[in-house]
Structure 1
Amino acid sequence: MQWRNIYRGFFIGISDLIPGVSGGTIAFILGIYEQLLTAISGFFSRDWKKHIGFLLPLAIGMGGTLLIFSRLIEYLLKNYHAQTQFFFLGLIIGVVPFISKQVNVKKNFKIGHFLLVLIVGAALASLAFVSPQNYGTITKLTSSNALGLFLAGWAGSMAMLLPGISGSFVLLLLGVYSTAISALSNLNLPIIAVIGSGVVVGFIVSSKVIRYLLDRFKYVTFAVVIGLIIGSVFVIYPGLPEDGTFLMMSLLTFFIGLLVASLFSSFDNKSSL
């Protein structure tokens, strides 16, 4: 068992609670992105036993975080929204040099790759101007809303594995983010089970697709990944606080995020892209 994956799952779980912050980006920061894709894809095959040691501690860390910290994240986003977002901005921006170095952008990227980065980044950044749907918080599971919640979980989990695209932000756009957070905070097991089932299906499908693209079209895929990460900066940027104290706190959390990304990239990234 790779027990240190518990703390990695902790960070991925925290990111998945924040609209705009991608669990895939955090997996890149932690140096386990490709291993994560391989393990998820391989777990649903005949070779599942050799991947359980990687995935189980990760799942424990993520699951525990989602249950324990959902209320804390609600509190931070409500009372310290800018500071929380600036911390994750630092994390996201801090991972770009690491990915660029690993894939050797200067050597392997052509003009077409840079254009793809620009196009994908602009497309994702445009989501910052999209107004999320608001259907209220669903607290009771019915036959009419079960399918919608399942499909929302599916869409959200597919986004979670793509660096730069936040599963929580997708849930927000679909109008079910408040329902998911409320279900986790209050242990509404029927709703958690339905959304969770969609999440599992999404993980299976997207891990295989992304793994295939990395194997066949590595540099094109990484151009898309870098574009998604850069574009996500515009999605989660909360604006500068007008209050001087809050502004200084936001800048501080931003630099802490940069530092954390740098530390993880330096000491915890041993997988080769």
Structure 2
Amino acid sequence: MTVRKRKDYLLLTVKGMAMGAADVVPGVSGGTVAFITGIYDELLNSLKKLGPESLKVLFQQGFSAFWSYINGFFLLSVFGGILISLKTFAALISAAIAYQPLLVWGFFSGLILASVYLLVKVQPKWQLTQWLGLLSGIGIVVAVSLATPAQVPNEWWVLFLGGFVAICAMILPGISGSFILLLVGLYPIFLNAINQFNLLALASFGAGCFTGLLVFSRILAWLLKRFHHTTISVLIGFLIGSLNVTWPWKQVVSSTTNRHGEIIPLQQTNVSPFEYAQLTGINSQFSYVLILAITGLVFVIGIEYIANQMNKKSD
């Protein structure tokens, strides 16, 4: 387990908060933020250790050995940050999207473009299998983003299954767990459960998330070990495909009205900034959106550059 100081765990908590903030937004993946902030591999490997092997260590060697084995302080910091963010920033991000959606989606698009750049940098191998993986990743995310949201019953077992599927998406860069919840009709139920602190709903969802983490983290870790270059190319495809979701300018094709009288878009199609202005009568804010996208792009690449320079100095 990596030796860290208190400030390092505080930084991990902040990164977890960034992941949680991203997971609240349909179309943005916490896994993408984990990639951007450089904790994805450690997160995946730490999650993979949760299971029967860790319980064996607990009973045979004690809690201290168990905690070290699962990289406990790392997981506690990251998931503590995620939980803090889910409760704290859910309303804040919802308000930001409500009042300045174009600017928010522009910034997120810049973050995703930076993630694509960083992954392509570490993908030296582009053969037929990798190109097929890339196209498959793009196709899967685009197909998911174009699907029509469903309506499901508000039952504990449905929330369990929703948590299972959503957490798998949350740890995959480019596939948004909250967008999956939106597609299956659980997103408003999930937000209400957080805001109202519905213990049964949150416990059911949390149990599904925990089960999904135990199962899917192992599958993904195995894929990265056995088919690393192809898996990375699929992840790049996921990220590129998710740009279809974060594209700021959209035309609402179908919508519904919730119990508060608010209009909720169900299906949207991407349009150009100029079409958006003509269709909606709202300023497309093209220049500001472009500036925010470039800011997100430069921000992430700048962080990666600074981290590389610090690593060189430490060596």
Structure 2 partner of 1:211: 221
Equivalent positions of 1:35-184 (< 5 A) are 35-44=42-51, 45-46=53-54, 48-50=66-68, 51-104=71-124, 108-134=125-151, 145-184=155-194
Choose the corresponding residue for 1:13, options 9, 20, 36: 20
Structure 2 partner of 1:267: 306
Is contact 2:28-2:176 (8 Å) kept? yes
Percent sequence identity is 31
Structure 1 partner of 2:246: 236
TM-superposed deviation, 1:245: 6.7
TM-superposed deviation, 1:172: 0.6
Amino acid in the other structure paired with 2:142: A
Structure 2 partner of 1:257: 296
TM-superposed deviation, 1:84: 1.4
Distance 2:32 2:307 in 1: 14
Structure 1 partner of 2:264: none
Q: Which has the higher Rg, Structure 1 or Structure 2?
A: 2
Choose the corresponding residue for 2:196, options 186, 197, 200: 186
SS at match of 1:179: helix
Deviations 1:138-190 (A, max 9, x none): 5xxxxxx1101110011000111111111011101110001111111222222
Choose the corresponding residue for 2:29, options 22, 26, 35: 22
TM-superposed deviation, 1:87: 1.2
Structure 1 partner of 2:287: 248
Deviations 1:9-62 (A, max 9, x none): 011111100111111111111111111100111133326412102111111111
Distance 1:41 1:74 in 2: 32
TM-superposed deviation, 1:135: 5.1
Classify 1:191/1:117 alpha carbon distance in 2 versus 1 (closer, same or farther; 3 Å): same
Distance 2:298 2:196 in 1: 34
RMSD over aligned Cα atoms: 1.9
Q: Which of 146-155 and 247-256 deviates more?
A: 247-256
Amino acid in the other structure paired with 1:189: L
Segments of structure 2 that go 5 or more residues without pairing to the other structure are: 58-65, 250-272
Amino acid in the other structure paired with 2:302: L
Is contact 1:16-1:22 (8 Å) kept? yes
SS at match of 2:285: helix
TM-superposed deviation, 1:66: 0.5
Classify 1:132/1:268 alpha carbon distance in 2 versus 1 (closer, same or farther; 3 Å): farther
Is contact 2:135-2:234 (8 Å) kept? no
SS at match of 1:5: helix
Amino acid in the other structure paired with 1:20: G
Structure 2 partner of 1:34: 41
Amino acid in the other structure paired with 1:21: V
Q: Which one scores higher on RCO, CA 8 angstroms, separation ≥ 6?
A: 1
Q: How many residues align?
A: 260
Amino acid in the other structure paired with 1:32: I
TM-superposed deviation, 1:235: 2.2
Is contact 1:154-1:202 (8 Å) kept? yes
TM-superposed deviation, 1:77: 2.1
Classify 1:87/1:191 alpha carbon distance in 2 versus 1 (closer, same or farther; 3 Å): same
Greater share of residues in strand? 2
Structure 2 partner of 1:142: none
Is contact 1:120-1:227 (8 Å) kept? yes
Amino acid in the other structure paired with 2:141: L
TM-superposed deviation, 1:129: 2.1
Is contact 2:103-2:288 (8 Å) kept? yes
Segments of structure 1 that go 5 or more residues without pairing to the other structure are: 139-144
SS at match of 2:106: helix
